[in-house]
Amino acid sequence: MSTTMADAGLVGLGSEATTPTGPQDTGEARRLISADKVEGTAVYNKAGERLGTVEDIMLDKISGKVAFAVMSFGGFLGIGEKYHPLPWSALHYDIQQGGYVVDMTREQLEGAPSYGTDENVDLNDDVYGRRVYDYYKAPYWNAGI
């Protein structure tokens, strides 16, 4: 059984969706956010040090689950920059920071699975995906699918 926007109590499209009681609040304090607003959001560690930026979000188009947030990390002006796929569950939004927080130090992140812009990494590869999730000690996103 699929759920439409009307079934969910939403009428309209995009940021102007309404509920039966009126316009839906699209403020940043709300729980739901569009993917295009997540991309470009800063990622910090618990010490408040900025680690990088969310570059992309990888969604499973069948289950609808978020598989990875891909964070850019390191480098200077794009040179030497690495991309780190992070389990979505490893990120927590902090309203005060205005960004996502990951419970890792810079040094721990440097040892995490990553790839450069010149490397061909297949995020669909279960072996690679499980390695990423194992590193962050997170349950694998498509277990049981």
CATH number of the domain residue 46 falls in = 2.30.30.240
Inside any domain, residue 18: no
- The length of the chain is 145
Answer yes or no: is 77 within a domain.
yes
Per-residue pLDDT in tens (0 to 9) along the chain, 145 residues = 443 333 333 333 343 444 444 444 445 556 777 888 899 999 999 999 999 999 999 998 888 889 999 999 876 655 668 899 999 999 999 999 899 999 998 888 889 999 998 888 899 898 999 999 999 998 887 665 4
Report yes or no on 29 lying in a domain: no
Q: Which residues does residue 82 pair with via DSSP β-bridges, in sequence order?
A: 73, 116
Q: How far apart are CA 145 and CA 131, in angstroms?
A: 18
Judge whether 19 lies within some domain.
Answer: no
> Does 45 map to a domain?
yes
pTM value? 0.72
Residue 104 counted as domain residue: yes
Q: What is the DSSP string of 89-144?
A: GGEEEETTTTEEEES--HHHHHTS--EETTS---TT-HHHHHHHHHHTT---TTTT
Number of domains in the chain: 1
Quick one: pLDDT at residue 75? 65
Evaluate whether residue 65 is within a structural domain. Answer: yes
Parent domain of 66: 38-135
In a domain, residue 10? The reply is no
